[in-house]
Amino acid sequence: MDSVYENTSFMFSTVASGEKCSQYKGNSKVLLIVLAVCLVFALGGLCILGILYVNVSMQLSAQKTNNTIMTRQLEELTANCTGVREHLHINNTVSVPVKIEELTANYTRIREQLSFYEAFMQSLNCNMSLTTFKGKLYFFSSNKQNWSSSRAFCVSKGADLVTITSQSEQRFLASKMKEQHWIGLNDLETEGHWVWVNNQTLNETGVQFWYKRVSEKSEPDNWKKDDPTGENCAIMNDLKSWSDVSCNYQIKFICEKK
């Protein structure tokens, strides 16, 4: 009988040990699953941080490159101005291959360009952007003004409101915009006769990008509900096409300098 009891005790002990091992194995599996899930989330977080780092680095690099280009252009203009000054101060006894009148005109032109660069380089610190396309400089304002004040600001910087003369220029400007901007097109003198600020007509430029409606009148429609005088100034709207609106609206604007 003693041997029977002893065997029974051994069996109970063996069973108890097996249950403990099963519990340990179950707990180990749960811990492994939790660790695996945490590892997946950690790897995902690292990937997201890596993508954000690359994007920020690319933006900073592009901004640095743009600033370097603008600085180089500014230095070249300054050097040109210095050269012109030296020519203008040459002794009259020395043979000058270029007429003084031409040098004076060149000097004035370069000074205007230099002034334009300096003004807009400073404005970059005020959330205003400057970009170039096919030999033209474009200045996108951050503040809003009516059409007349916008044009006056551009003129004060040696520029004018933008004149759009090609489909490629239209696409380029549209790609830089996030909201509507004044352009240099109006029919202030004669209703329906749209003229650019450089006195070119739409027939002369050969392109126009008025917004087209299917069931209603397309732009320009000279709507007079908000302004009894009508809509006599043009904007590039949110749809990247043109609309006529009241010249009194407060809107951002685009300056252009060749």
Rounded Cα distance between 112 and 161, Å, is 17
Tokens of 253: 């604007």
Each residue's pLDDT tens digit, 136-187: 899 999 899 999 999 999 999 889 999 999 999 999 999 999 999 999 999 9
Domain 129-257 homologous superfamily, CATH: Mannose-Binding Protein A, subunit A (3.10.100.10)
What is the pLDDT at residue 25? 53
3-state secondary structure of 193: coil
End-to-end CA distance of the chain: 114
Number of alpha helices (DSSP H) and beta strands (DSSP E) in the chain: 5, 8
- Is residue 50's pLDDT more than 80? no
What is the pLDDT at residue 180? 96
What is the pLDDT at residue 155? 94
Closest CA to 206 of 241, 167, 233, 234: 167
Q: Which carries the bigger pLDDT value, residue 15 or residue 224?
A: 224
Share the mean pLDDT of the chain: 76
CB 69, CB 132: distance < 8 Å? no
Give the residue carrying structure tokens 């007429």: 99
CB 138, CB 255: distance < 8 Å? yes
